[in-house]
Amino acid sequence: MIATEPSVASHPASRIIHTYPDPEMMPTLIPTNRKKIRWRWLVFAILGLSVLMYAFGPMVWQFTFGRPGNADFYLHQSKYKNIVARVKELPLAAGAQTETRIDGLLVNAARSTSGSYTLTITTVDWHHAGVYGYVFSDVPLTSHPNENYPDHQAVDNPGDMPFADKRIVSQEGHWWSVYNDLL
């Protein structure tokens, strides 16, 4: 051994007790960014879910709870039009009003002196949390300010739903979604 070289026994690495049979089999330690990658994926997942909830949440709410609107109307259009046809078959004199249940839904119907029908179909009744439904009229309806609550729009309809939410798209004013949240 040359005197200028440090002794192998005095080197700090020689004091390590190897648990591997061959020192070459020892795994090399490479620094990784696993925590950063997990953190980024978590943030990405939360943002993605938030965007999906914002985009589809109202639609899911409407489909789940049946609150009136364009989507609910077009999904159940045949049912509502069937209710209108069945009410028109009832013996209702001109100028009279009636209340009945058809397919489990409360229907308030009125017939004008000219013979045209106006119906209010209650699709959701949450009692003190509000009542929601649709109005159908043979004659197209137009909204106007409610006489008791001028900030709210109304359409003339039988029943206890004085406020017009919106006109159903592509129905030329014959169908409106209505509500009463003042119960």
| Percentage with pLDDT > 70 across the chain | 74
Q: In the structure, what pLDDT confidence band is assigned to residue 38 with cuts at 50, 70 and 90?
A: confident
Beta strands in 70-148 (DSSP E): 97-102, 105-111, 117-125, 131-137, 144-145
Q: How far is CA 150 from each of CA 82, 100, 153, 167, 168, rounded to the nearest angstrom? A: 34, 30, 7, 18, 22
pLDDT > 90? residue 176: yes
* Mean predicted lDDT score pLDDT of the chain: 82
Q: Where are the domains of the chain?
A: 30-64, 66-180
pTM reported for the whole predicted model: 0.65
pLDDT band per the 50, 70, 90 thresholds, residue 32: low
In whole angstroms, give the CA distance from residue 109 to residue 94: 11
Element (H, E) at 166: strand 163-167
> What's the pLDDT score for residue 1?
47
pLDDT at 67: 66
Determine the pLDDT at residue 109: 96
Model confidence pLDDT, tens digit, residues 22-31: 666 666 666 6
> Residue 76's pLDDT is what?
87
